[in-house]
Amino acid sequence: MSDVLLADFDHRTINVDGVNINVRTAGDGPPVLLLHGYPQTHMIWHHVAPALTATHTVVLTDLRGYGDSGKPPSNAEHGPYAKRAMARDQLLVMHELGFERFAVVGHDRGGRVAHRLALDHPQAVSALAVLDIVPTRYAFQHANGDFGRGYYHWFFLAAGNGIPEHLIGQDPEYWIRARMGARHHGGTPFNDEARAEYIRCFSDPAAIHASCEDYRAAATIDLAHDDEDATAGRRIKAPVLALWGAHSFVGRHYDVLRAWYGYADTVRGQALPCDHYVPEESPEETAHHLQMFLAE
């Protein structure tokens, strides 16, 4: 694991229910948990996290199945990679660190874990920020040809019979570079050290399989949980900040705030001058908006 970009952050491994979660911490003040997306690790926050440590205790983790966190075996229902299971990991990590209530910021897949965390454990989440996503259920309900082309990886990665694992496993570095390169629009270039870390972690066949299980869960068990919440009228009670890339698929195809208003009581946010990888492409703007939001 590289220590160059986050050298001032302490590192530890926390075991939660038998799964090791890779954790970094730094700073002082109210706690905020930052969750990464696909196909990355906690290193996506290497610009933003240090800026938040002046006012907050910042916790960075690798989601289960990603980075240097554990990659437990899955099952036919994909339950070990349901966002409910992934969110519980994060709750228990924060409890282990001594935090019963905290803010959560999630990009991409991490935003979906954060969404589930806020629904399942409302007493723990004081504020929620979601970066460049609309809710999973909303995305599937509004899927069309544009969605199929722009988000083809949702269907490819969810395919069975080991097909995506086999194909990605032939050249993981190409997959990482191609996915990230296709979703970057101006702004700050990707850091070579960070990208090398993503490639290192994703070159593990177990990580490729686990990440596919993440997407399989999203298309099955996660939707069942989301439907149950919708039927029961459960909504996010914590204040929500939504940030998205003006040039991203999300920014070009959705009314993002309207989508989140269907799932949360209090929402605000705006587009930033970037594509999908908001914390890396627009780090100063991202840090600024998070600092303002978390200060309230």
* CATH number for the domain running over 10-294: 3.40.50.1820
The model's confidence at residue 4, banded by pLDDT at 50, 70 and 90, is: confident
The one catalytic residue in 108, 214, 222, 226 is 108
Q: Say whether pLDDT at 289 is over 80.
A: yes
Contact 114, 104 (CB under 8 A): yes
Domain ranges of the chain: 10-294
Band (2; pLDDT cuts 50, 70, 90): low
Nearest to 290 by CA among 128, 166, 163: 128
- Rounded Cα distance, 208 and 236, in Å: 31
Q: Do 98 and 124 form a contact (C-beta atoms < 8 A)?
A: no
> Is there a catalytic annotation at residue 132?
no
- Tell whether the model's pLDDT for residue 13 goes beyond 70: yes
Per-residue confidence at 187, pLDDT binned at 50, 70, 90?
confident
DSSP state letter for 241: E
Does the pLDDT at position 195 exceed 90?
yes
Q: Give the active site residue among 56, 209, 276, 289.
A: 276
**What is the mean pLDDT of the segment spanning 28-54?**
97
Q: Is 137 helix (H, G, I), strand (E, B) or coil?
A: helix
* Per-chain mean pLDDT for the chain: 97
79-123 pLDDT, tens digit per residue, is 999 999 999 999 999 999 999 999 999 999 999 999 999 999 999
What is the average per-residue pLDDT within 179-203?
Answer: 94
Instruction: Look up 108 and say whether it is catalytic.
Output: yes
pLDDT for position 209: 98
Q: List the structure tokens of 182.
A: 């296709």
